[in-house]
């Protein structure tokens, strides 16, 4: 049985022998990691603004823009208002989590044109169209132009806030899906041509023995390739591999 850990301290002589006693050492505490900022709380987090999303408002009526701001800001959402489409485009960043509230009653169908341009952008940011026209045709045109929701005037603060929060949640989900797709594409790109060939066959249920026969290689070689494929694609089972290939839009 070994002696307790610690340092030895001289404790005098006894019968010609030098005596020591073991003084236990206090355990050394590992340094605690620095705590980051507290996660968003309250309505902001529950409404899908965990990534600091911005609400863009495009309305040439100052009173309308102020009304939208007063309805949305209590939910903890930062709002940026623009009186024209031109001003909006100078500040708009489609790669930042956001949604856009557009007054489609602006002159020369500027609102509808704005919706179409947003929808055709590199990232399809959700847009909420608002209008004072009671004609259902206006709502249909707005949705065709790319709006994800339509709120009629006069605006109800609760309904507008709900539409904005739903748009932000949709934007967050879409960005997560895009990130997973980019990751799957990157994983697929790390496979060799032979591994890509075998991955396609595995995904459609071809047995190792049949793959070995079709490619004139040993079953052991197929198993080795298969293990590498699963590791490179971050897949723990066949179902996960199929999902990754679908995300990467690989034809099987």
- Tens digits of residue pLDDT in 148-176: 999 998 888 899 999 999 999 999 999 99
Tell whether 49 and 89 lie within a shared domain: yes
Furthest-apart CA atoms within the chain: distance in Å: 110
Q: Is residue 9 part of a domain?
A: no
pTM, 2 dp: 0.67
- pLDDT (tens digit per residue) in 191-200: 999 999 999 9
What confidence category does residue 108 fall into, taking pLDDT thresholds of 50, 70 and 90?
confident
Question: What six digits make up the tokens of 86?
Answer: 């031109």
Tell whether 47 and 171 lie within a shared domain: yes
CATH for 142 = 3.40.50.2300
Question: Using an 8 Å Cβ cutoff, are 249 and 219 in contact?
Answer: no
Question: What six digits make up the tokens of 125?
Answer: 């940011």
Tell whether 67 and 141 lie within a shared domain: yes
Question: Using an 8 Å Cβ cutoff, are 149 and 99 in contact?
Answer: no
Tell whether 166 and 62 lie within a shared domain: yes
Q: Is residue 1 part of a domain?
A: no
Tell whether 143 and 198 lie within a shared domain: no
Tell whether 56 and 152 lie within a shared domain: yes
Q: Is residue 136 part of a domain?
A: yes
What confidence category does residue 46 fall into, taking pLDDT thresholds of 50, 70 and 90?
very low
Predicted pLDDT of residue 36: 38
Query: Which residues, listed in sequence order, are joined to residue 101 by a DSSP beta bridge?
Result: 57, 128
Domain boundary among 114, 149, 175: 175
Domain boundary among 151, 175, 199: 175
Tell whether 93 and 149 lie within a shared domain: yes
Tell whether 195 and 77 lie within a shared domain: no
Q: Is residue 35 part of a domain?
A: no
- What is the residue range of 141's domain? 43-175
What confidence category does residue 123 fall into, taking pLDDT thresholds of 50, 70 and 90?
confident
Provide the domain count of the chain: 2
Question: Using an 8 Å Cβ cutoff, are 77 and 49 in contact?
Answer: yes
Nearest to 159 by CA among 171, 167, 151: 151
In DSSP notation, 95-135 reads TSSEEEEEETTSGGGHHHHHHHHHHTSSS---EEEEES---
Tell whether 165 and 119 lie within a shared domain: yes
Chain centroid offset of residue 57 CA? 23
Burial tier of 86 (Cβ tally within 10 Å: 0-12, 13-18, 19+): exposed
């Amino acid at each position: 049985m070994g002696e307790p850990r610690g340092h030895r301290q001289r404790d005098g002589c006894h019968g010609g022998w030098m005596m020591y006693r073991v003084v236990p050492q206090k355990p050394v505490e590992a340094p605690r990691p620095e705590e980051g900022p507290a996660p968003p709380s309250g309505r902001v987090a529950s409404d899908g603004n965990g990534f600091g999303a911005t609400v863009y408002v495009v309305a040439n009526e100052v009173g309308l823009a102020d009304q939208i701001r007063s309805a949305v800001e209590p939910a903890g959402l930062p709002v940026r208002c623009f009186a024209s489409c031109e001003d909006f485009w100078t500040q708009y960043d489609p790669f930042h989590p956001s949604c856009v509230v557009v007054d489609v009653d602006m002159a020369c169908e500027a609102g509808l044109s704005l919706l179409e341009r947003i929808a055709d952008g590199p990232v399809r940011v959700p847009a909420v169209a608002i209008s004072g026209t009671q004609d259902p045709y206006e709502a249909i045109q707005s949705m065709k132009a790319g709006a994800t929701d339509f709120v009629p005037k006069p605006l109800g603060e609760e309904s507008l806030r709900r539409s904005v929060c739903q748009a932000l949640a949709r934007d967050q989900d879409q960005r997560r899906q895009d990130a997973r797709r980019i990751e799957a594409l990157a994983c697929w790109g790390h496979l060799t041509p032979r591994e890509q060939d075998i991955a396609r066959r595995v995904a459609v249920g071809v047995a190792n023995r049949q793959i070995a026969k079709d490619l004139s290689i040993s079953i052991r070689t197929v198993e080795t390739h298969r293990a590498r494929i699963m590791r490179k694609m971050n897949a723990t089972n066949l179902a996960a591999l199929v999902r990754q290939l679908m995300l990467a839009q690989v034809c099987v």
